[in-house]
């Protein structure tokens, strides 16, 4: 069975701090896909990134970066110089083959001005 | 941009009522999904559909049914609403590029359903 663990339930940081959200996954499949979504207070899940299991290159998009390490089954998400608008619940998710997304329970990030 | 819309943002129903939640996507996506989100439990898949008139059970299908008569529309039905179905319901869609797991899902704004 596939599983995603986001051990951090809630994180609170002061604006401009860097913050890393952890994601650990379990799967027996060799081909799989990892995702991060953001859920702001409005409620809609916003897609951030998709990564397949054959691409271990780290990705950077503005203040956001992702570190994918197959050796530790982790796909961590870092926000650099956090801003109040980054306050949201962030979900990590895993899918493979014909199995739809399995979500972690989410990490609530609060950025304080 | 992908647009997924849901018929209501907030809905209040009484126990025993039949409830319809509607979801429409405008990007000609093959796959559509219904999730419920509860505090501390994350998102759980109720049903999904990979084609018109096709459906598959997710992790928690009990108490729910679905209908997909047209490609762009996927309905979630609560045959007899109960208080434990009070939740946030999220619809999503994805383009089919082979394996259903490979596709990025795009979500609607959610419907917060309260059953009294």
Position A103 scores a pLDDT of 94
| A99: confidence class by pLDDT, cuts 50, 70, 90 | confident
Size of interface A-B (CB pairs under 8 A): 60
Question: How far is residue B36 from each of residues A83, B7, B86, B101, measured CA to CA in Å?
Answer: 29, 16, 9, 19
Inter-chain CB proximity A100 and B41 less than 8 Å? no
Inter-chain CB proximity B42 and A45 less than 8 Å? no
Cα-based torsion angle of the residue sequence A15, A20, A21, A23 in order, rounded to the nearest 10 degrees: 170
Shortest CA distance to A95 belongs to which of B10, B39, B99? Answer: B99
Q: Residue A44 is nearest to which of B40, B102, B109, comparing CB atoms?
A: B109
Percent of chain A clearing pLDDT 70 (strictly above): 100
Pairwise CA distance, residues B36 & B43, whole Å:
6
Percent of chain B clearing pLDDT 70 (strictly above): 97
Measured between CA atoms, the residue of chain B closest to residue A44 is B109
Find out whether A2 and A99 touch, Cβ atoms under 8 Å.
yes
| A85: confidence class by pLDDT, cuts 50, 70, 90 | very high
Position B53 scores a pLDDT of 86
| Average pLDDT, rounded, for chain B | 93
Find out whether A75 and A53 touch, Cβ atoms under 8 Å.
no
pLDDT in tens, B81-103: 999 999 999 999 998 766 777 88
Shortest CA distance to A35 belongs to which of A79, A91, A97, A98? Answer: A91
pLDDT in tens, A17-61: 999 999 999 999 999 999 999 999 988 999 999 999 998 888 899
Find out whether A13 and A109 touch, Cβ atoms under 8 Å.
yes
Pair type for strands B42-49 and B31-38: antiparallel
Position B111 scores a pLDDT of 96
Find out whether A78 and A60 touch, Cβ atoms under 8 Å.
no
pLDDT in tens, B34-78: 999 998 888 999 999 998 988 999 999 999 999 999 999 999 999
Position B101 scores a pLDDT of 77
Measured between CA atoms, the residue of chain B closest to residue A9 is B40
Inter-chain CB proximity A42 and B112 less than 8 Å? no
- Interval A79-87 mean pLDDT: 97
């Amino acid at each position: 069975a596939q599983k995603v663990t986001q051990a951090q339930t809630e994180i609170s940081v002061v604006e401009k701090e860097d913050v890393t959200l952890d994601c650990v996954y379990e799967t027996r499949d060799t081909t799989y896909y990892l995702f991060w979504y953001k859920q702001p207070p409005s409620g809609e899940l916003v897609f951030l990134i998709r990564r397949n299991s054959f691409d271990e290159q780290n990705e950077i998009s503005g203040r956001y970066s992702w570190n994918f390490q197959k050796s530790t089954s982790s796909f961590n998400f870092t926000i650099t110089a956090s801003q109040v608008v980054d306050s949201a619940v962030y979900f990590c998710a895993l899918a493979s083959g014909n199995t739809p997304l399995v979500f972690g329970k989410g990490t609530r990030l609060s950025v304080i001005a | 941009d992908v647009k997924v819309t849901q018929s209501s943002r907030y809905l209040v129903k009484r126990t025993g009522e039949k409830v319809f939640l509607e979801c429409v996507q405008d990007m000609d996506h093959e796959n559509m999904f219904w999730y419920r989100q509860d505090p501390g439990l994350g998102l759980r898949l109720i049903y999904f559909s990979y084609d018109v008139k096709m459906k598959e059970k997710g992790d928690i299908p009990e108490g729910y049914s679905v209908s997909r008569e047209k490609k762009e529309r996927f309905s979630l039905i609560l045959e007899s609403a109960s208080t434990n179905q009070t939740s946030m319901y999220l619809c999503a869609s994805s383009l089919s590029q082979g394996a259903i797991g490979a596709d990025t899902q795009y979500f609607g704004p959610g419907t917060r359903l309260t059953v009294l």
